[in-house]
Chains A and B, each alone.
Chain A
Amino acid sequence: MKFMDWLDERLAVRQLIKVMLTEYYVPKNINFLWSFGVLIMVVFAILVVSGIFLLMYYKPDSHLAFDSVNKTIMMDVEYGWLFRHTHAVAASIMFLVLYVHMARGIYYGSFKAPREIVWITGYILFVLMAATAFTGYLLPWGQMSYWAAQTITTLFEKIPFIGPDLVVWIRGNYIVEDATLTRFFALHVVFLPLLLIVFTAIHLYAVRIVGSNNEDGIELTKEEKKHGKGIPFWPVFMAKEFFVISVFLIFFFYLVFYQYKFAMDPINFTPADYLQTPTHIYPEWYFLAFYEVLRGFFFSQNLGLIAFVLSMFIAAFLPWLDTSPIKSGNHRPLYKILFFIFVADFVFLTILGKLPPTGLYAWLGFAGSLVYFAFFFALPIISRIEKKKLEGGR
């Protein structure tokens, strides 16, 4: 304990441990969905470590990239395949845990006051993560890498006035080329991860200040949590957390070793060829729902583009769309129904996003897109209804 005393005099570690761990309380009535924030950090750590190993052999050059990944890393380097599988699967699963984390926030009303900053910083993290995944997907320089980048960057062309110039500026060339690869590389390995770390810090700080929400959405004071309604973060909360992490890792490594194709599309094992457009172009699964909204307005490209942008960002405004004083979906019967319709619709759009946008699928995509927005536009209305009811009950 001598050493602890020594450290304590210099860094006040005892106080720090109390404030951060043993005397920081979280509500008792939270379920394992509240473990997903930590799961995100676990996946992020896995991405960073596996990414550093990949970085040691990857070559950001359009002539070398494909072989450096598929030959050097996958075949020649000892356990290179392990790091690539891990990185690819982690990137994919990151979005699964992010979506669960966000859905948890939506269902239990965790975006409401006083957690707006938590929600907004979280949303910024989602957008940054999407950008990181998008830039990273170009790096193996396979057919789908190339054509996904080509298709998505083309979308910027529609922006009034600056669109066409902006596209060239983003690509560094008239088409996706070597210059695009090197800049996506820089963004993917340095700039975006740095921003992710910074915003994660702000996000966590904000969570600590306002405290975690809970299943009933009824705020607890620190005193209430200390005396029965809460549990200390260390060791009680973390004891459960480790269990959840272990179970999650079984699932994760099962995918890494035995079920990785969903994260490493076979078509991407064909080298990029700018002369040969693949028959089906689709983004990775986590963007499919938004992509389907883009295609859903099949009769007007411009409308589709506006809808696409709106669909990506509208959830950031939840704290101002849903003004009902009741937080948790557990106590909001109408909201609960809407929520599950929304979840089903999101899955529906995701599935449609990979199918050819023709015939019936096109119309289903349109219907699905409308339902997507209907959820958000219904929120102010049901907030009104709930407010009325509360006032009437009083």
Chain B
Amino acid sequence: MKELKILLILVVVVLVGYWGIEPYAHSVMHGEVKKPDYNYSDLKTTAATTGDPAKGKELFVANCASCHGLKNDGINPGMDKNAAIASFNVVPPDLSNIAAILDHKFLAAFIKNPQQATENPKFAMPPMAQLSDEDVGHIIAYLSSVAKKNLDGKEITIEACGRCHSIKYQKIYAETPAENLKAYLGKVPPDLSVMGKAKELEYLETFINNPQNGLPGTSMPRLGLTKESTEKVVAYLDQIADPHREQRNKLGMWVIGYLVVMVGLTFAWKKKIWKNIH
């Protein structure tokens, strides 16, 4: 019993120390992580989010296709990749699936004023002031009609992040060359291969939803992903950063099971040897 008392003291000291250096220290260092806002409620826009897809296509060709392609509908960008990099320091995205991953209200506000929506004053795309509120709705309707549904986490991550971020452990490389990104954003965006380990998943979700909430002043633009796409991106980053989780959890049970048997056996042996010792 005296030994149990010593053990109890030991356990209490270890638990207090652990509480201090893990949960408590983290709460002090990182503060509380803000909740993601999928309504993008700071964006006030009168632009429509739906309309006539056919009109939308005409508007798209006239207003967007000089920079953006739309492979799903056979539209090539008016500008080739290298020319775009030379003028913007970043590759304009192909917009085939954009309506499937972005929130439509965000998209409407973005088309009208990209700098405000992304919270990045240097964002490369100019505001499309010439489009009326209805025009924007038509374009979004068109984009929705061509977008592929049910993209998986990897596809969304490549669409949403792949122009700037590499994921080299998955052999995915940023579309825009590093030196241009540096000129555009001030630094080369970090590789995402083990980001799922480097950051808490909760933080990642908040950060992707609104980078300024995680890293005030960062040049990463707000992307306007829907809740579903954000969660899929986070799940994908988590899975590629820790590919052996299932194997680990399973092996862990076997090892601990084995050791429980060992505890039983060694305890029985100790009892036997110590029987005559008082």
Least CB distance, B73 to chain A, in whole angstroms: 38
Least CB distance, A142 to chain B, in whole angstroms: 9
A355 CA to B190 CA in the complex, in Å? Answer: 27
A337 at interface, CB cutoff 8 A? no
Residues of B with C-beta under 8 A to A246:
259, 262-263, 266
Q: A201-244 interface mask toward B, CB cutoff 8 Å, 1 = contact, 0 = none?
A: 00000000000000000000000000000010001100110110
A343 CA to B6 CA in the complex, in Å? Answer: 14
Q: A284-319 interface mask toward B, CB cutoff 8 Å, 1 = contact, 0 = none?
A: 010010000000000000000000000000000000
Chain A interface: which of B45-53, B157-165, B243-251? B243-251
A104 CA to B102 CA in the complex, in Å? Answer: 61
A269 & B194 in contact (Cβ 8 Å cutoff) = yes
Query: Taking CB as reference atom, which chain A residue is nearest B195?
Result: A269
Known contacts A31-B2, A280-B29; A243/B267 CB under 8 A: yes
Instruction: Tell me the dominant secondary structure on chain A's binding face.
Output: helix
Least CB distance, B2 to chain A, in whole angstroms: 7
Query: Taking CB as reference atom, which chain A residue is nearest B249?
Result: A257
Least CB distance, A94 to chain B, in whole angstroms: 14
B86 at interface, CB cutoff 8 A? no
B277 & A354 in contact (Cβ 8 Å cutoff) = no
Least CB distance, B185 to chain A, in whole angstroms: 14
Residues of A with C-beta under 8 A to B25:
351, 354-355
B197 & A266 in contact (Cβ 8 Å cutoff) = yes
B13 at interface, CB cutoff 8 A? yes
A247-303 at interface with B (beta carbon < 8 Å)? 247, 249-250, 253-254, 256-258, 261-262, 266-267, 269-271, 279-280, 285, 288
Picked from B6, B190, B277, the residue with its CB within 8 Å of the CB of A32 is B6
B193 & A71 in contact (Cβ 8 Å cutoff) = yes
B251 & A257 in contact (Cβ 8 Å cutoff) = yes
Known contacts A75-B243, A239-B274, A350-B20; A270/B190 CB under 8 A: yes
B127-168 at interface with A (beta carbon < 8 Å)? none
A356 at interface, CB cutoff 8 A? yes
Picked from A31, A85, A242, A288, the residue with its CB within 8 Å of the CB of B6 is A31
A71 CA to B193 CA in the complex, in Å? Answer: 9
Known contacts A243-B263, A250-B259, A254-B256; A351/B20 CB under 8 A: yes
A33 CA to B194 CA in the complex, in Å? Answer: 40
**Among A256, A261, A351: residue with most chain B CB under 10 A:** A351
Least CB distance, B193 to chain A, in whole angstroms: 7
Least CB distance, A110 to chain B, in whole angstroms: 15
B20 & A270 in contact (Cβ 8 Å cutoff) = no
A347 at interface, CB cutoff 8 A? yes
Query: Taking CB as reference atom, which chain B residue is nearest A261?
Result: B22
A63-81 at interface with B (beta carbon < 8 Å)? 67, 70-71, 74-75, 81
A82 & B251 in contact (Cβ 8 Å cutoff) = yes
Q: B245-278 interface mask toward A, CB cutoff 8 Å, 1 = contact, 0 = none?
A: 0001101100110011011001101101110010
A271 CA to B259 CA in the complex, in Å? Answer: 36
A158 at interface, CB cutoff 8 A? no
B78 at interface, CB cutoff 8 A? no
Picked from A32, A67, A71, A253, the residue with its CB within 8 Å of the CB of B3 is A32
A contact residues vs B (CB 8 Å cutoff): 28, 31-33, 67, 70-71, 74-75, 81-82, 85, 96, 100, 231, 235-236, 239-240, 242-243, 245-247, 249-250, 253-254, 256-258, 261-262, 266-267, 269-271, 279-280, 285, 288, 343, 347, 350-351, 354-356
A/B interface sample: 29 pairs, CB < 8 A: A28-B277, A33-B6, A70-B194, A75-B243, A96-B14, A100-B10, A236-B273, A236-B274, A239-B270, A240-B270, A250-B260, A253-B259, A254-B252, A254-B256, A257-B251, A257-B252, A258-B249, A262-B21, A266-B197, A266-B200, A267-B198, A269-B195, A269-B197, A285-B21, A343-B13, A347-B20, A351-B17, A354-B25, A354-B29
Q: List 7 tightest A-B contacts by C-beta distance, closest first.
A: A351-B20, A257-B252, A269-B198, A239-B273, A354-B25, A243-B266, A269-B197
